[in-house]
Structure 1
């Protein structure tokens, strides 16, 4: 693409939702001089109770990025799904984009077909294993119908994980593997704190408190290290149970959520990072953003050996599955500061070379 091109973005979440690829990519492209139009998902009746519409992270948009709010009188239903698909397709007539990038797995089918008919490049950016994340009837519709349609009819497919890439490559030769990256604002805050070093034995886990992680194992492991403090930060359905579970354990504290601008210091204070992921299909097939947070802070990481973490980290991560393996890995990092620092530097090198939005933006520009 050349000149002042216009790109239409169709995300599944509100612009002020938790900062992710849905928001960071259009922001980065806007800073490159592209005119970017971000279509907020249609706010249907009752959507104020849906997490993806929440303004969790109010943010300033760069020049060249336009946020479009939309609403509907319909309630969440199959009819509303069809109506939003139609509205997204009609957006082509209103905004006349030169290209479309969509991360919405449900609301892009009609838009994809309309782009193909008009000769407008449509890129489906696959950032999650949606058929496992979305267990609703609509999620099954994606699995059995929409996924294949988008795979065959999109101009290009971009995938954040190897498993998704392997699937879509069979459907579309213009499929590309583009892993996720660290949030730019977090990276900037981490760099501003480059001189901060841990002043006590502390590990900070920051993430969604959901069943993606084996918190029971995490708590059991850190109970073995009474002089090593584990702080669990985040929100999610497991929060009440985790607070109850950890209340009587002196070195483990469950704090709840924190503002995004406070996470950098917690990451810097952490002796190392830890990812106690469940060994399930979802974790095997998704790109772990929390890994990049630890790497951005130059922290060594201990993780369950899920496929995507192993592909990204290789020998620069310590892997553990059982309680005894996690305990041995922690002892190894506690006893060997040189190893701990070297692994942290290796992770940070991966951030600087690949897992940042300057790199991701260049990849998308080449596809466009």
Structure 2
């Protein structure tokens, strides 16, 4: 199958937004040919360091926001010289978009005219973002041009129903199978980490966005000097989404505490031993429209390392196994304390392992492809 993927960022952009590359990896495993088109210049210099960059079936193209000109970003993409060539010569079976990028609207119009089906995969509540470099107020057009629409959460399914009659299939985020295999810890190893004298509370993911709850984080660090708090993730914003807040100052203040470490951004595989050695994982997000809509990918990865999760009130994960919801910073600390003191039982360990096995990107990709194949057959 030939697939065109539209995204604002390149597949390996740091911070959140890993959904496009997770689906991309599954596409390539299936032998699909993919033209991945993006607009932002952020972190493009990092792309050659990723293994998939050289995959013979992946063509990486950066499209100029103003002229629409194509720039080949890897050797395989050198033949994709224009939209005309892409649509009339290469001839994709379908086009999949992940962000409502304003400058792609004309391309989507042309796809509709040429009967190339479009699947819009809504990966966030875009209206809630304080900075929207991809272009504001374009999502309605994406939904209208799409033959099928998917989204990440029940919250967004309900939200979308208020503005369109088009149905949205709900496909949450997940965990990569190979990553889950590397993350795997035996129950014996879980027991060993639970008896260590010094306990570790871990957070992984972007730390700079406005929805990260520094009030909760500061409260935990200041009240529990006997725990080690490990913060893994970028605290400098993407140049495209800098909203002017100085997160560095907050980080500098907290670095003065002996019980907190800010590792900054590390590779995905480097994350594994840190999760495996921790005792409790956390998701301290401010509760707002963006976070209520989200499907935190980190939650699946925490559970993959058999880590109990303490989170603020995020509706999409409240019923996941070993996920505990706090409605105040005081309750958040109580839950962390409780989980550190009692650890996890073997039954809870099995429950998490079963959940992870059932929630892989392979399964999500198969569900997405069923929708795509249905679109294609309808067009034929």
TM-score by length of 1: 0.82
* Aligned pairs for 1:13-92 within 5 A: 13-18=9-14, 20-39=18-37, 41-42=38-39, 47=41, 50-51=42-43, 53=44, 55=46, 58-61=49-52, 65-70=57-62, 72=64, 79=66, 91-92=86-87
Deviations 1:246-285 (A, max 9, x none): 2332222223222322101101111011111101121111
SS at match of 2:46: coil
Runs of 4+ aligned structure 1 residues displaced above 6 Å come to 192-195
Number of positions where the alignment pairs a residue of Structure 1 with one of Structure 2: 342
Deviation for aligned residue 1:68:
2.7
**Cα distance between partner residues in 2 of 1:290 and 1:324:** 23
2:326 maps to 320
* C-alpha displacement of 1:214: 1.0
Deviations 1:318-341 (A, max 9, x none): 1112222012112221222245x6
Instruction: Tell me, yes or no, if the aligned pair for 2:153 and 2:293 is still in contact at 8 Å.
Output: yes
Matched, 1:176 2:157: no
Asked if 1:97 corresponds to 2:92, the answer is yes
Task: List gaps (5 residues or longer) in structure 2.
Answer: 71-81, 237-245, 373-380
Q: 270, 274, 294: which one pairs with 2:282?
A: 274
Q: CA deviation at 1:117?
A: 1.9
Q: Which residue of structure 2 aligns with residue 201 of structure 1?
A: 199
Query: What CA distance in whole angstroms lies between the structure 2 residues aligned with 1:176 and 1:331?
Result: 38
Q: What CA deviation, in whole Å up to 9, does each residue of 1:52-104 have, x standing for no partner?
A: x45268322285622233364xxx7xx45x778xx657632242011111113
Structure with the larger RCO, 1 or 2 (CA within 8 Å, 6+ apart): 2
Residues 280, 340 of structure 2: 8 Å contact kept: no
Q: Does 1:153 align with 2:145?
A: yes
Q: Which runs of 5+ in 1 are unaligned?
A: none
Distance 2:125 2:223 in 1: 35
Shift of 1:134: 5.6
Counterpart CA distance in 2 for 1:338 and 1:21 is 30
Q: 1:70 to 1:95 in 2, by over 3 A?
A: same
SS state at 1:223 partner = helix
Matched, 1:252 2:260: yes
Is 1:9 matched up with 2:13? no
Q: Which digits, 9 at most, give the CA deviation of each residue in 1:181-230, with x for residues without a partner? A: 12445323213888754244112212111232212322212332222111
Do the aligned residues in 1 keep the contact of 2:303 with 2:353 (CA within 8 Å)? yes
| 1:159-186: CA deviation from partner (whole Å, max 9, x where unpaired) | 1122322344563544210001124453
TM-score normalised by structure 2 residue count: 0.79
Report the CA distance shift for 1:362/1:268 in structure 2 as closer, same or farther (over 3 A): same
Tell me if the contact between 1:9 and 1:36 (Cα under 8 Å) persists in the aligned partners.
Answer: yes
- Indicate the residue corresponding to 2:114 in structure 1: 118
* Residue 291 in structure 1 maps to residue 261 in structure 2: no
Structure 1 Cα separation of the partners of residues 221 and 350 of structure 2: 25
Q: Could you say if the C-alpha distance between residues 64 and 30 of structure 1 is closer, same or farther in structure 2, counting changes exceeding 3 Å?
A: farther
RMSD of aligned C-alpha atoms?
A: 2.9
Contact 2:9/2:39 (<8 A) preserved: no
Contact 2:185/2:276 (<8 A) preserved: no
Match for residue 348 of structure 1 among 349, 353, 362: 353
Q: Distance in 2 between matches of 1:34 and 1:349?
A: 29
- Using the alignment, how far apart are the partners of 2:10 and 2:234 within structure 1? 18
1:193·1:268 contact (CA, 8 Å) conserved in 2? no
**What's 2:74 paired with?**
none
Q: Any conservation in 2 of the 1:88–1:108 contact (CA below 8 Å)? A: no
Matches within 5 A, 1:181-192: 181-191=174-184
Q: How far did 1:306 drift? A: 2.0
Q: CA deviation at 1:133?
A: 2.4
